[in-house]
Every structure is written in structure tokens, then in C-alpha cells.
Structure 1
Amino acid sequence: MNLQNTTLLITGIDDFIGLRAAELAIAQGMKVRGLQSSSDRTIAQNLGVEVIVGSITDPKIAQKACQGVDIVLHTAQLTQEAGPIKEFREINVSGTINMAKAAKGAGVKTFLHLSSVMVYGFDYPNNITESDRLSGDNNPYCQSKIEAEAELLPLNSPPDFGVIVIRAGDVYGPGCIPWIVRPLLMMRQKLFAYANDGKGVINHLYIDNLIDAMFLAIQKEAYGEVFNITDGQETSWKEYFMRLAATEGLQAPMSVAKDEIKLFLKIRSQGQKLFRKKADILPESVDFMTRPYAYSITKAQTLLDYKPKIDLEEGLRKTSAWVQKTDIQQLVK
């Protein structure tokens, strides 16, 4: 599929992934429409995006958003580390299927769903592939992403309607809350620590590399396929967080036992609730930051000719430049 002069709908365009996808799509000659839940349309509209405000779970909104669209890039999701499974299913499962059915009914050709490597859970073999076992590991985010894929893939019916699933690694870059903003804010307060000597692998994925992979999959019409996408670098958690601290000249974080960090975060979050503040980081986040191994991207390299263009050094440099001109504290309020 030639992407030029196509109309692309991006759900969750107010999130950092959706917004960057819009910028890069427009640069490639695509017309972009965005669907977002927040009422502030300013940022996306300044890019030249037509913005629709509403929920991905609303059938009428979904139908309106999909009219006259060639491609849907479905990035909207609930990404908290924990919470009631019902809330995750409403957004990540029901919302996804609502958008996909609306797209199919509107004659959309391609529906690309942003999933996550978290469908493999927290304990998985090294270089796990797309055909290996999935595991929710009693986590609502992991479980809801598995369920969304299971309900979505049967809707694939090319050439009329093609579904593609991208299981993204740990996406970072300008605007990223979990892997950039939260750790830096805690490092500034000397409250950040990594668990168990930073062993294991962060499967970092610079945002532009993710969007390149998405566009490659759409261009190659890889319908019915599922792809793991990361930067393809095996970076330890310790190295990542040390390099992140260095971008601001901050003190190197220390290592603390996993159970001790979880206890600290549990007490901290309970204290924040006591003062009617939203917990800025949940104890369950430690599970996400202690995964052991790399995910295989061989399939994407083979079928899509995916080659990550931006390595960790350049990605952190670009991100640091954004941090220097941004009040990141305001992003988590």
C-alpha cells in the first residue's frame, strides 16, 4: 500500500505515541484525523489534524471517526500497571473491538492495533517469539491486551479488511511517562532505585522506530500477522537507568531488593491516597522493571525488513533535549 494521499485515523492522538505518529504521517504525505478523549484539541490541531473528541467505546463516535478513512492506527489504551480488570477490559478490549467493527463497517482497508510485549507476562524464555505462549500473570494490563488480540484477529478478512498487530517493547522518547518522566522526577528527589542490581533486560523502543515499523507493516499489507517490535538492543535495566540519570547529570541510582522497593512504593502510594492524591507510581510497576530477557524481533526483520534507525544513545540524546525545554512535573499532575 502506498501511504501517500491516504487518510489515517489515529486513536489516542493526545498520547505521546499517537501525536508523534501524526507528525510522521503528515511528513509522509498522509491526511490525519485523530480521536481523543480529552477536550483540548490544540496540540493536534496545530499539526493540521482533524480532531474528534469522544470515547473509543462509543459506537456512534467510532462510526463518525472511521468514515472516509483508509487506515486506522489504534494506539488508544489504558496503560496503568494495576487496577480493576473491568476498567482495562472496557478500554483495551471492548474499545478496541468497537473501533475495529466500526472501521470494517466503514470500508477501512487496514486496522493496525498497538499491542504490547506484556502479553508474554513477566516470566518468559529468552528471545521469545510471536508464536510462543502468552501469559496474563494475574496482571490486568497484560490480560486485557491478550484478550484484545484474541477478539481482534478473527476480524481479519483481506483484501476488504486487514488486521495487523504490533507488540511494542518499552516505548520511550519525548513525552514518555513511564520510562522517562517518572524515573527522572524520582531521581531528582533521590527516591529512585532499580531492583536486584538491575539484572534483566529492558526492551527499549524509541518512538520513531516503533512508528517506522507500523508504517512498514501497513505498506507491506502484513494482514493477519503479529510482530514483536523493539530496538533490538539487549540493554540491562541498570545500564538504562544509569544512562538516563547521566542525561541530567543526576546521581546514579542505587540497587535495592525488589521486595523492599515494592514495600516502599506501597507505603508511598497509600500515603498519597491519604492526602487524596493520585499515586504517581504503583508497587506493581516494579514487576514491569524487572523482566528478565529480550524479545525476538526476527520476524519483523525478515518479513518487514525492519531495521531500527535510532539507537539508545541517540534516542536518549533526543529525549534529553526535549526534557531540557519541558516542565515534566506538569505531565504527571
Structure 2
Amino acid sequence: MNLCEQTLFISGISGFIGLRTAELAIARGMKVRGLARSAEKAKQAQKLGAEVMIGNVTDPTTAYKACQGVDIVLHTAGIVQESGSLKHFREVNVGGTVNMAKAAKSAGVKIFTHLSSAMVYGFNYPDGITEDGPLRGENNPFCQTKIEAEEALLQLHAPPGFGIIIIRPGDVYGSGSIPWIVRPLLMMQQKLFALINDGRGVINHLYIDNLIDGIFLAIEKEAHGEIFNITDGQQTSWREYFTRLAEMANLPVPYSLPKDEAKLLLRVREQGQKLFRKKPDLLPETVDFLSRPYAYSIAKAQNMLNFQPKIDLEEGMRRTQEWLQITDIQKLMS
């Protein structure tokens, strides 16, 4: 499929991934529409030239209107946090995904591309895990609902008229990334950030533009019914990544804590914040996300899509540093 002049709809267009995808899609000559939760959040995408609707992915009427006259849907909207109410996660991450897919199918959309997560493999997985799994919910609402959404979506797969593509990205960083750039830096500034188990294990980092390259390749190849792991394909330790991040912001390298001790400290902190009716800023479950041991395999994307990450960690961090120099990251968390 030639992407030029195709109409792409992006749910969650105002988010980190949605906004950059809109920018790069418009640069390719695509027509871009999107869905944002508020008029305020829609402004940046509108400035790029995207047409933006206001609404929620869980609303059938909104979803149906959004998909009219669209060729491709990229579904990025969802709850992305370490923990919370399973019911709420399910409502948005599963219900919202299925709602968007059903609307797309009835509107005659050709390809529905779903942004899942490599967290479907959980926290304890074999080295070089492929798309075949195993999948592990780990009693974590994010992991569990990403698995459930994939399973529900594939039941709607009906090629050639309606093709489902599932992308499982690793840890997406770059200009605007809250979990892998902004929040760690703010925690480091407050001396609240620690390396877990001396930073052993592997961060499966993925520069934002590399992710979008992978998404576009999968759509161009019309890889209907396929699932792809997408990362930068580098074996980078947690220590190396967060040391680079700290140095980039002229901050000291974070200290190290054993995993169990870090969880206990965060649990105590969470209870204290709840006592004073504050929303916890760091959850004990965060430790599990920051101590995964191994790399995911991207061999399938390399072989089927000819996916080759163009931007390595050094270049990705350089671009991110340029953005940090002109951005007040405190405002991004308000």
C-alpha cells in the first residue's frame, strides 16, 4: 500500500506517540485525522494540520463518526500506567479498543493497526522472546488488559476487507516521553530515583521515530493478522540508559537499591501520600517495570518488514537533549 494521500485516523492523537505519528504522516503526504479527549489537548495536532475530533474511544457514536472516510486506523489511545483499577483499565484498554475496531470495520476501514505493548510478556520472560510468547498478565492491569485487547481484536480480523495489525513496542523514549524521560529526570532532581539491583537487566528502548517507521512498514506491507515486536534492537542495561539520561541533564548517577527494598520504600511512600490525600507519584509496581531482565526479539520485524532502526541510542539521546534544553518538563506533569 502506498501511504501517500491515504487518510489515517489516530486515536490518542494528542499523546506522545500519536502527535509524532501525525507529524511524520503529514510529512509523507497522508491526510490525518484524530481523536483527543479535550479541545486543549487537540491544539498541537491541529497546528500540524490534522483534523481533530473531541471525544472518548469508549463512545460508539464518537468512534463511528471518527472512522467515516478513513483508510487506516492507528489506535494508540489507552491507559498507560503501572497500576490501578482493573475495571477502569479494562473499560478503556479492552472496551475502547474493541469499540474503535468495530466502528472502523463497519465504516469500511482497510487496516486497523493496534499499538499494544511488549509488556504482554510480563516481567519474567525468556531471553530473546518472540511474538509467540508466552504471555503473562502478572496480576498487573496494564499487562493483563493489553493481552485481552489483542485477543478480542484478532476475533474481528477479516481480510482482505478488514486487516488487523498488532505492534508490540518496547520502552518508547524521545522528546515528550513521560515514563522514560520526563518522570525519571524529575525523580532524579528530587533524589527519589534509584537503579534497581545496580541497574542489571535490559531496557528495551525504542526511539519514537524508529517505532513509527516500524508502524508504517507494517501498514505498507499490509501485514494483516501479524504481530510485531518493535525495539531499537540494542542490548542496553538499565544502568547505562539511566546514567546517560542523568548525565544529559547534568545530574548525578542514581544510587542503587535491591529490588525488595525499593518496593518496600515505595509502598511506605504510597501509603503516606494516600494518608495526606495525595495521588501517589511512584508506585511499588514501578520497580517491576524497571528491572526486566532480557531483550525482546525483533527478528520477525527485521525479516518480514525489513525493519532496521535508523536512530541509535546516542543519536536518540542527542535529539532528546536538544528538546530538553527548550522545554520546561515540570509543566508536562501538571
TM class by smaller structure: over 0.9
What is the deviation of 1:273? 2.8
The answer (yes or no) to whether the contact 1:2–1:219 under 8 Å persists in 2 is: yes
Matched length: 333
Determine if the alignment matches structure 1 residue 281 to structure 2 residue 287: no
Alignment correspondent of 1:25: 25
TM-score by length of 2: 0.98
Q: Distance in 2 between matches of 1:51 and 1:276?
A: 35
What is the deviation of 1:278? 2.1
SS at match of 2:155: helix
Alignment correspondent of 1:312: 313
What is the deviation of 1:132? 2.2
Q: Distance in 2 between matches of 1:267 and 1:67?
A: 49
SS at match of 1:155: coil
Letter matched to residue 252 of structure 2: Q
Letter matched to residue 9 of structure 2: L
Determine if the alignment matches structure 1 residue 16 to structure 2 residue 16: yes
Q: Distance in 2 between matches of 1:10 and 1:189?
A: 35
Alignment correspondent of 2:122: 121
SS at match of 1:10: strand
Over residues 232-268 of structure 1, what are the superposed CA-to-partner deviations in whole Å (9 max), with x where a residue is unaligned?
0010001111111010111011111112211222222
Alignment correspondent of 2:242: 241
Letter matched to residue 69 of structure 2: G
Q: Distance in 1 between matches of 2:59 and 2:135?
A: 29
Alignment correspondent of 1:5: 5
Question: What does 1:95-174 correspond to in 2, within 5 Å?
Answer: 95-174=96-175
What is the deviation of 1:332? 1.4
Q: Distance in 1 between matches of 2:127 and 2:241?
A: 19
What is the deviation of 1:275? 3.4
Q: Distance in 1 between matches of 2:207 and 2:52?
A: 25
How large is the Cα RMSD of the aligned pairs?
A: 0.9
Letter matched to residue 133 of structure 1: P
Question: What does 1:259-270 correspond to in 2, within 5 Å?
Answer: 259-270=260-271
Letter matched to residue 294 of structure 1: A
What is the deviation of 1:294? 0.4
What is the deviation of 1:270? 2.7
What is the deviation of 1:139? 0.5
Q: Distance in 2 between matches of 1:314 and 1:42?
A: 29
Alignment correspondent of 2:199: 198
Q: Distance in 2 between matches of 1:36 and 1:245?
A: 32
SS at match of 2:116: strand
Q: Distance in 2 between matches of 1:241 and 1:132?
A: 28
Letter matched to residue 94 of structure 2: V
Q: Distance in 1 between matches of 2:152 and 2:299?
A: 25
Q: Distance in 2 between matches of 1:59 and 1:136?
A: 28
What is the deviation of 1:315? 0.6
Letter matched to residue 118 of structure 1: M
The answer (yes or no) to whether the contact 1:32–1:49 under 8 Å persists in 2 is: yes
The answer (yes or no) to whether the contact 1:14–1:38 under 8 Å persists in 2 is: no
Mean CA deviation greater in 32-41 or 293-302: 32-41
Structure 1 residue runs of 4 or more that deviate by more than 6 Å after TM superposition: none
Question: What does 1:68-83 correspond to in 2, within 5 Å?
Answer: 68-83=69-84
Letter matched to residue 32 of structure 1: V
What is the deviation of 1:158? 1.3
Letter matched to residue 277 of structure 1: K
Mean CA deviation greater in 45-54 or 31-40: 31-40
Q: Distance in 1 between matches of 2:137 and 2:191?
A: 33
Mean CA deviation greater in 89-98 or 264-273: 264-273
Letter matched to residue 218 of structure 2: A
What is the deviation of 1:21? 0.3
The answer (yes or no) to whether the contact 1:172–1:206 under 8 Å persists in 2 is: yes
What is the deviation of 1:33? 0.4
The answer (yes or no) to whether the contact 1:9–1:72 under 8 Å persists in 2 is: yes
Over residues 312-333 of structure 1, what are the superposed CA-to-partner deviations in whole Å (9 max), with x where a residue is unaligned?
0111111111111111111112
Question: What does 1:155-234 correspond to in 2, within 5 Å?
Answer: 155-234=156-235
Over residues 201-250 of structure 1, what are the superposed CA-to-partner deviations in whole Å (9 max), with x where a residue is unaligned?
00000000000000000000000000000000010001111111010111
Mean CA deviation greater in 278-287 or 193-202: 278-287
What is the deviation of 1:293? 0.3
Identity of aligned residues (%): 68
Question: What does 1:315-330 correspond to in 2, within 5 Å?
Answer: 315-330=316-331
Q: Distance in 2 between matches of 1:271 and 1:22?
A: 41
What is the deviation of 1:56? 0.3
SS at match of 1:130: coil
What is the deviation of 1:91? 0.6
SS at match of 2:104: helix
SS at match of 2:88: helix
SS at match of 2:34: strand
Mean CA deviation greater in 249-258 or 274-283: 274-283
**Any unmatched runs of 5+ in structure 1?**
none
What is the deviation of 1:272? 2.8
Q: Distance in 2 between matches of 1:312 and 1:138?
A: 32
What is the deviation of 1:130? 0.5
